Structure 1
Amino acid sequence: MTMKLKGLVALGVALTVQASFAEEVELSEDLTIHYETAGTGDTTILFVPGWAMSTEVFEKQLETFEGSTDYTFVTFDPRGQGESSKTAGGHFYQQHGRDLNAFIEALELDTIVLGGWSFGGNAVLSYVDQFGTERLKGFVMIDAAPKSTGADNTTEWVWYSHDDADGFEAFFTMGPLLYRDDMIAGFADWMLADTSAENIAWASAIAEKTNSTTMALLNAAGTFDDYTEDLTAMDGEIPLLYIVREEWGPVVSEWAAANTPNAMVSATMPSHLGFWEDPEGFNAELMTFLEGID
C-alpha cells in the first residue's frame, strides 16, 4: 500500500464508498502520469494498458476491487496515452519500462502482482528486464506476447510475421499516419466480440487520445522487442498467469508447456478486450490465481 493510501486510511477517509479515485503523479519535468486506484489492501495489482489505450479499459476491474481490504488495484495511462502527458519522445517500450519503475517508486508500491495487456506486456517485461522481480509477487500476461515478431504468427506466440503477409504490422504502424480514422475504427472492431456502435465508439474515443506519431513509433519500435528470456527466467521463481483469447489458447498453451511449465494458462477471454466484455469470467480466473499465491 502506498504512503498516500495509508494516510487516507489513517484519516478515516471512506474509500469504500467510491469505486476508484483518479490522481496524477509527476515523474519528470515533461511527464505527468494519470492513474486510478481502488481498494486498500497490502497486495498491489498493477495493470498496464496496451497500445493507445488508457485506464478506462480496466474500469470493471476497478469496480471489482472497490472496498477491497486485501488488494489495491492500480492502473495508469502510459506516456502519450489517455490523460497522461503527450511527450515529444520516449515512445518505445524500454522507456515505458523505465516509466513504470519511476511510477512504482513514486507511489512506493511493493508486493506487486504486475500485469500487462496487449503491448502493455512489452512494458511490464521491459520493466522486469531492466529492474528485476524484487518487488513482484506475481506476473500476468493479458492477451500479450513475450516476443513481437516471428516466422509465423499463426503458430508462434507473437504478434507479427516477419514478412507481414497479413498486413497486421503495416496496419498498426502506417495506418495511424495514412488513414487514422479508419485504422482506429478497425482497431476497435478487432478488439471486441460485441461490435455494437456503442462499443466501437467507446474504444475509438480512448484511442483518439493518442496522436498518430506516437502510435506509429510505439508499434514500429515494439516489433523489435523480444523478452522471451525474461519471461522464461521467471518460471518457478514468480507465479505466472497467461490469460488470453480463446483462439490464442492452443499456441500459448504449447509455448507455456515448453518454456514455462509452472505457468497457469487460461484461454477463456472472448476477445482481446475480454476482461472488459466478460469481467466476471476474467475476474474469476484472476482471483483463482491471486488466491493461489497468497
Structure 2
Amino acid sequence: MAFLETDGGRVHYDHYRGDHGTTMVLIHGWGMSGDFWNSAVEALADAGVGAIVVDHRGCGRSDRDFADMSIEAIAGDVAAIVERSGVDRVVLNGWSLGGAVAVAAAGRLGDRVAGLVLTCAASPRYTQADGFPHGGKAEDVEGIAGAITADRAGFFRVLAKGAAAEGANPALTDWFERGFLASGPRASKTLLDLTTLDQRDLLASFAFPVLSIGGEKDTIADPAIAGFAANCARYGRLLMMDTGHSPHLEDPPRYNAAIVEFMESLT
C-alpha cells in the first residue's frame, strides 16, 4: 500500500511487482475501487506480470475532499504514480470511465506506454456528437448528480444491477452496490466530464497496440463504443464478450486470458 501526495490530497495505489518487462496499470470504473481488479492482478501475477492498481480521487482508499475531480486530474495522478514507481514500460487498462482516464494518462506518459486496454470504456466518447452516433445524451449524464443527491441508496442499487448482465451472480451485484455507496460525495463531479469528453484524435494518434474489450449485453456503455474505439486506434483490435459492463468480473477466465495474451504479445 502506498500513497501519492498531491496538492489536493493523497491518492492510494498498490504496486505488485513481476518479472515481465512491462507492468499493467489497472484503472477502475467510476465510483468503484482498485479492489475490483483483484482477479486480474492474480492472473497477471501467475504469468509473472506486475500490476499497479490505482484508486481514483474520491474512491477506495484515496482522499475524498479533492477540489479537482476531473478526468484529467485523475490521469495526472496515474501518470505521476507510474513515474514514481520507476517502471519503464506500462500497459494502461481502464474500465468504464477509467478507460477515459487511461487514454488521457497515455497521452501524458508518451514513450513509456507499450499498449492500451479499454474495458467497456467510456472512450473515445461516451455521449453522442457529430460523427459519433453512439452512447447516450449529455443531459442524461448531467442529471445523474441530482439523482444521487435525491436518493443515493436507491440510485446506486439500480446502477449496481446494471453493472453486470441480467442473471449475474447476486453477490457481484451486492459488491457493486457497496462499492458505489463507499464513494465520496464529490465523485459525481467526475462524471460531468463525460458530457464533453472527446478523445478521438488522441486515441488515433497512438502508435502502440490497443485492445478494446466490450460487453455485448452492456447497458451502461453502448457496446458500439468498443468497436468504434478499436477502429479509431491505429493498431486497434476488438474483443466482444458475452457479458454486461464488467467482463473482468462476469467472465474472469476469458478476460484474464485475453489480457495476459495481450501482455505476452508485446514482448
Letter in 2 for 1:230: L
Shift of 1:226: 0.9
Provide the residue aligned with 1:46 in structure 2: 25
Q: Does 1:219 align with 2:191?
A: yes
Shift of 1:108: 1.7
TM-score by length of 2: 0.87
Letter in 2 for 1:241: L
C-alpha distance in structure 2 between counterparts of 1:255 and 1:86, whole Å: 31
Q: Does 1:99 align with 2:71?
A: no
Superimposed CA distance per residue, residues 242-261 of structure 1 (whole angstroms, 9 cap, x where no aligned partner): 0111245555435634x335
Q: Is the 1:174–1:216 contact (alpha carbons within 8 Å) kept by the matching residues of 2?
A: no
Q: Is the 1:115–1:121 contact (alpha carbons within 8 Å) kept by the matching residues of 2?
A: yes
Superimposed CA distance per residue, residues 41-70 of structure 1 (whole angstroms, 9 cap, x where no aligned partner): 23100010111111111111122123543x
Whichever of the two has the greater Rg, that structure is 1
Provide the residue aligned with 2:111 in structure 1: 134
Provide the residue aligned with 1:10 in structure 2: none
Q: Does 1:256 align with 2:230?
A: yes
Shift of 1:241: 0.5
C-alpha distance in structure 2 between counterparts of 1:249 and 1:95, whole Å: 27
C-alpha distance in structure 2 between counterparts of 1:230 and 1:181, whole Å: 37
Q: Is the 2:215–2:244 contact (alpha carbons within 8 Å) kept by the matching residues of 1?
A: yes
Shift of 1:93: 0.6
Provide the residue aligned with 1:241 in structure 2: 211
C-alpha distance in structure 1 between counterparts of 2:228 and 2:70, whole Å: 29
2:137 to 146, 161, 165: 161
Q: How many residues align?
A: 260
Provide the residue aligned with 1:60 in structure 2: 39
C-alpha distance in structure 2 between counterparts of 1:157 and 1:283, whole Å: 27
Counterparts of residues 24-43 of structure 1 (less than 5 Å): 24-28=2-6, 30-41=8-19, 42-43=21-22
Q: Is the 2:94–2:118 contact (alpha carbons within 8 Å) kept by the matching residues of 1?
A: yes
CA RMSD of aligned residues (A): 2.4
C-alpha distance in structure 2 between counterparts of 1:250 and 1:210, whole Å: 28
Q: Is the 1:157–1:252 contact (alpha carbons within 8 Å) kept by the matching residues of 2?
A: no
Measured at CA, do residues 191 and 171 of structure 1 come closer, stay the same or move farther in structure 2, by a change above 3 Å?
farther
C-alpha distance in structure 2 between counterparts of 1:31 and 1:269, whole Å: 39
C-alpha distance in structure 2 between counterparts of 1:124 and 1:218, whole Å: 14
Range 247-256 or range 282-291, more displaced: 247-256
Superimposed CA distance per residue, residues 133-160 of structure 1 (whole angstroms, 9 cap, x where no aligned partner): 211011111111211321499x7344x2
C-alpha distance in structure 1 between counterparts of 2:250 and 2:53, whole Å: 18
C-alpha distance in structure 2 between counterparts of 1:45 and 1:85, whole Å: 23
Provide the residue aligned with 1:114 in structure 2: 92
Measured at CA, do residues 254 and 228 of structure 1 come closer, stay the same or move farther in structure 2, by a change above 3 Å?
closer
Letter in 2 for 1:156: P
Q: Which has the higher contact order (CA 8 A, sep 6+)?
A: 2
TM-score by length of 1: 0.80
Measured at CA, do residues 269 and 25 of structure 1 come closer, stay the same or move farther in structure 2, by a change above 3 Å?
farther
Q: Is the 2:24–2:51 contact (alpha carbons within 8 Å) kept by the matching residues of 1?
A: yes
Provide the residue aligned with 1:182 in structure 2: 154
SS of residue paired to 1:110: coil
Q: Is the 1:39–1:67 contact (alpha carbons within 8 Å) kept by the matching residues of 2?
A: no
Measured at CA, do residues 106 and 196 of structure 1 come closer, stay the same or move farther in structure 2, by a change above 3 Å?
same
* Structure 2 residues without counterparts, runs of 5 or longer: none
* Structure 1 residues without counterparts, runs of 5 or longer: 1-22
